[in-house]
């Protein structure tokens, strides 16, 4: 079983799963005269499945951030429209006082501009945050996939060497564990 079974039974997030996989590989018993290690395939497969299962949660969280951003923008637009409408009504009441009308218009336009600037800044920050998270996740996944592929290729060499009677298994094992050939 995996190291997180003692927890509350929920699937850990992707980063936790990937860190657990890294720890398994780092703590695995080394093969003699090789950079290879022996790992429990079932445990690593469970951790990889858990990492894959946690992806939708992180994507859902990213969508939630986007939804929050849209709600903030809608609220800012509504607030700006209300301020403009209030300014219009006030201007109509004070037609005789031209300076007051001009001042109210400038204030309303400034508030609208400030709200749009705040919304734009928040949108850009949200997009940067999501992009950074996805980029980091992409790097971790690429590394994990490369490590898994390399392990499968090495395992295939050993399996093929064991099933062909013409191949000397000791020679195949020596070739498999010799990291300096190639």
Mean pLDDT by 10 residues, the chain (182 residues): 50 79 85 82 85 76 86 91 90 73 85 92 90 90 92 87 58 54 48
Residue 42: give the domain boundaries: 3-132
> Residue 157 domain-assigned?
no
Confidence (pLDDT) at 143: 93
> Residue 155 domain-assigned?
no
First to last CA, the chain: 37
Confidence (pLDDT) at 105: 87
> Residue 14 domain-assigned?
yes
Helix, strand, coil share of the chain (percent; to 5): 80, 0, 20
- Report d(CA 112, CA 136) in Å as an integer: 36
- Report d(CA 57, CA 69) in Å as an integer: 18
What total of structural domains would you count in the chain? 1
> Residue 21 domain-assigned?
yes
Confidence (pLDDT) at 96: 66
> Residue 72 domain-assigned?
yes
> Residue 170 domain-assigned?
no
């Amino acid at each position: 079983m995996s190291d997180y079974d003692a927890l509350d039974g929920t699937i850990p997030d992707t980063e936790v799963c990937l860190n657990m996989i890294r720890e398994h590989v780092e703590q695995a018993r080394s093969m003699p005269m090789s950079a290879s290690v022996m790992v429990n395939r079932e445990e690593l497969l469970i951790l990889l499945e858990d990492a894959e299962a946690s992806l939708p949660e992180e994507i859902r969280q990213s969508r939630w951030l986007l939804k929050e951003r849209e709600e903030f923008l809608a609220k800012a637009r509504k607030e700006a429209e209300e301020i403009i409408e209030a300014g219009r009504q006030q201007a109509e009441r004070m037609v005789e006082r031209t300076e007051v009308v001009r001042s109210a218009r400038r204030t309303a336009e400034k508030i609208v501009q400030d709200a749009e600037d705040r919304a734009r800044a928040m949108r850009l920050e949200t997009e940067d945050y999501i992009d950074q998270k996805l980029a980091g996740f992409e790097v971790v996944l690429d590394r994990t996939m490369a490590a898994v592929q390399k392990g499968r290729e090495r395992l295939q060499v050993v399996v093929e060497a064991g099933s062909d009677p013409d191949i000397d298994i000791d020679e195949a094992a020596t070739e498999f564990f010799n990291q300096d050939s190639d």
